[in-house]
């Protein structure tokens, strides 16, 4: 009987690909690896397959190595590429490079690994959508949309971000309109617009900024409204010395009220020294997962209701040049940031009628736009996600949502916890699906660590090391 184990990874973006690469690096005996990717044979995923070369990374180059134990890997790769020589200067580590350059980097890593496989690794790459998993006695069978089912001993769900949920408005029929773009990452959201028309962007974060960049880049000269409940606008990255004074005060047991007062005190302190408050957020980041893991459910709910948006503004910042580009559009009246609640969207005579209840005066504001783009951020409640794989696994109880409905319930190492609260013997997850468990589970600096650890975990589960040592 063939007892070589099969590990299948569903999703071949950054997380799936880096888990695969770490499995190849760490395996010491025969293993079947399968990578299933819905759209193409590229590890770029949503973030690094962007259609616009002006969409930049929101993490500086120095922190974007794909490998946790080779921190200069990305920087050295850039330096080795004559095409990118214009970026090579003393500022390179702090530069926010175009995201499609990072896509090129991932393509090269991926191709070099799969073209130089160790003999004992059997790799199968399938371009297809996984739509279901049937559990059998010995493992699981992955059901694919267009190909034969596939047996696996262990399965990793590396599915990335889901398109944003529709906002709550008076009449949902608007969401069938061709004036509405629910997916803000596709280039169609910014194409075929009248030059002097107007656009409403729902959401005021980094994806809004990407869309504004693309619209203006395409020659759009009209007015862009962007609305979010608070109307916060992303802050700018600043070069400054790390602030670490807060760290020694951060230790368990963590409580949100205590943390909040420590935070406030330190923010006051840094402001008095002429440093901006984001320095405190940056200082706390290495501890965020530890803090989140030990907060009570009530405290997590309090964080989500009162602090989440402020945290987001301080945490997800813009490169300086893009920040000033946006401020310039704001000062010219071409971009208006509105704090308020979206009430109504209705298509009337080929235009969209918008009603917003403004935060500043609680009054209703009405205007007309040509198009609406949803930039509210990825949908996270898996009980409502209308994708075959997610809804089938959810219906079978093989996955369930975490207590905050931010992703899949799991152990911090990615082992899935099923609906009946038992630990799944074969399902694992990684990346943004772990947001409810780890909170900080979004960007390359933490995802590369997860990929390495998960590969180690899978290998120990499938006994690939001990066999060699016997």
> Contact positions toward ligand FAD, by CB under 6 A?
10-16, 36-39, 45-47, 57-59, 99, 129-130, 158-161, 185, 207, 389, 431-432, 442-444, 447
Give min distance, CB of 377 to ligand FAD, in A: 9
Strand order in the sheet with 180-181: 180-181, 371-374, 198-202, 223-228, 335-348, 351-358, 364-369
Return d(Cα 432, Cα 455) in angstroms, integer: 17
Q: Furthest-apart CA pair in the chain: how many Å? A: 75
Structure tokens, 26: 């760490």
Nearer to ligand FAD, 29 or 161 (CB): 161
- Looking at the Cβ atoms of 183 and 229, the one nearer to ligand FAD is 183
**Dihedral of CA 7/12/15/19: which sign?**
positive
Least Å distance, CB 467 to ligand FAD, is: 29
Cis, bond preceding 253 (omega within 30 deg of 0): yes
Closer residue to ligand FAD, CB minimum distance, 46 or 224: 46
DSSP 391-455: HHHHHTTSS-B-TTSSSB-B-TTSEEE-TTSPEEEEEEE-GGGGHHHHS---SHHHHHHHHHHHH
**Smallest gap from residue 447 Cβ to ligand FAD (A):** 6
Closer by beta carbon to ligand FAD, 99 or else 371 = 99
Q: How far is the CB of 356 from ligand FAD (least distance, A)?
A: 25
Least separation in angstroms between residue 254's CB and ligand FAD is 25
- φ, ψ of residue 264 to 5 degrees: the values are -60, -45
Nearer to ligand FAD, 299 or 402 (CB): 402
Nearest partner of 249 among 259, 240, 239, judged by Cα: 259
Neighbours of 360 (CB within 10 A): 9
- Residue 214 CB, shortest distance to ligand FAD, in Å, is 12
Question: Among 365, 368, 364, which residue's Cα sits nearest to residue 346?
Answer: 368
Of 14, 12, 32, 36, nearest in space to 24 by CA:
32
CA-based torsion, 180, 184, 189, 195: positive or negative? positive
Q: Nearer Cβ to ligand FAD, position 417 or 451? A: 451
Residue (259 or 434) nearer to ligand FAD, CB: 434
Distance CA 26, CA 8 (A): 16
E strand or H helix that includes residue 35: strand 31-37
CB of 15 to ligand FAD, least distance (A): 3
Closest CB to ligand FAD among 139 and 414?
414
Closest to ligand FAD by CB, 11 vs 340, is 11
Distance CA 181, CA 370 (A): 11
* Residue 118 or 149 having the CB closest to ligand FAD: 149
Q: How far is the CB of 1 from ligand FAD (least distance, A)?
A: 29
Q: Is 80 left (phi over 0), alpha (psi -120 to 50) or beta?
A: alpha
Nearer to ligand FAD, 306 or 395 (CB): 395
Q: How far is the CB of 431 from ligand FAD (least distance, A)?
A: 3
Least separation in angstroms between residue 433's CB and ligand FAD is: 8
Give the pairing of strands 130-135 and 6-10: unpaired
Q: How far is the CB of 288 from ligand FAD (least distance, A)?
A: 15
Q: How many whole angstroms separate alpha carbon 117 and alpha carbon 257?
A: 52
Between CA 424 and CA 398 the distance in angstroms is: 7
Which of 375, 338, 372 lies closest to 357, judged by CA? 338
């Amino acid at each position: 009987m063939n007892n070589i184990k099969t590990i299948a990874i569903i999703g071949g973006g950054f997380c799936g690909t880096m888990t695969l690469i770490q499995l190849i690096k760490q395996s010491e005996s025969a293993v079947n690896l399968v990578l299933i990717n819905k759209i193409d044979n590229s590890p770029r995923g949503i973030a690094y397959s962007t259609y616009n070369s002006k969409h930049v990374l929101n993490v500086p180059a120095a922190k974007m190595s794909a490998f946790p134990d080779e921190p200069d890997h990305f920087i050295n790769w850039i330096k080795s590429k004559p095409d990118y020589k214009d970026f090579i200067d003393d500022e390179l580590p702090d530069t926010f490079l175009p995201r499609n350059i990072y896509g090129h980097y991932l393509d090269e890593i991926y191709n070099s690994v799969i073209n130089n496989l160790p003999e004992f690794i059997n790799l199968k790459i399938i371009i297809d959508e996984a739509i279901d998993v049937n559990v059998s006695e010995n493992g699981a069978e992955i059901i694919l949309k267009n190909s034969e089912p596939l047996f696996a001993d262990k399965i990793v769900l590396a599915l990335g971000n889901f398109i944003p949920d529709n906002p709550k408005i008076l009449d949902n029929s608007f969401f069938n309109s061709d004036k509405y773009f629910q997916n803000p990452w596709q280039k169609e959201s910014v194409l075929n617009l009248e030059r002097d028309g107007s656009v409403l962007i729902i959401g005021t974060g980094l994806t809004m900024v990407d869309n504004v960049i693309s619209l203006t880049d395409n020659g759009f000269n009209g007015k862009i409204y962007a609305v979010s409940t608070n109307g916060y606008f992303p802050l700018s990255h600043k070069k400054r010395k790390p602030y670490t004074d807060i760290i020694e005060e951060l230790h368990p047991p963590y409580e949100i009220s205590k943390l909040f007062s420590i935070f406030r005190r330190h923010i006051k302190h840094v402001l008095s020294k002429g440093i901006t408050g984001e320095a405190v957020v940056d200082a706390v980041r290495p501890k965020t997962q530890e803090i989140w893991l030990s907060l009570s459910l009530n405290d997590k709910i309090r964080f989500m209701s009162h602090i989440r948006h402020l945290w987001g503004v301080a945490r997800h910042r813009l490169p300086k040049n893009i920040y000033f580009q946006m401020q310039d559009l704001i000062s010219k009246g071409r971009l208006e940031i509105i704090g308020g609640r979206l009430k109504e969207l209705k298509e009337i005579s080929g235009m969209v009628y918008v009603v917003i209840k403004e935060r500043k005066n609680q009054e209703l504001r009405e205007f007309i736009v040509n198009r609406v783009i949803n930039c509210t951020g990825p949908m996270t409640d898996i009980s409502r996600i209308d994708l075959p794989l997610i809804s089938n696994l959810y219906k079978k109880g093989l996955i369930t949502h975490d207590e905050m409905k931010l992703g899949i319930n799991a152990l911090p190492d990615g082992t899935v916890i099923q609906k009946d609260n038992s630990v799944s013997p074969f399902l694992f997850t990684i990346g943004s699906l772990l947001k409810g468990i780890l909170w900080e589970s979004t960007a390359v600096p933490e995802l590369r660590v997860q990929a390495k650890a998960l590969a180690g975990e899978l290998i120990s589960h499938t006994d690939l090391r001990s066999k060699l040592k016997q």
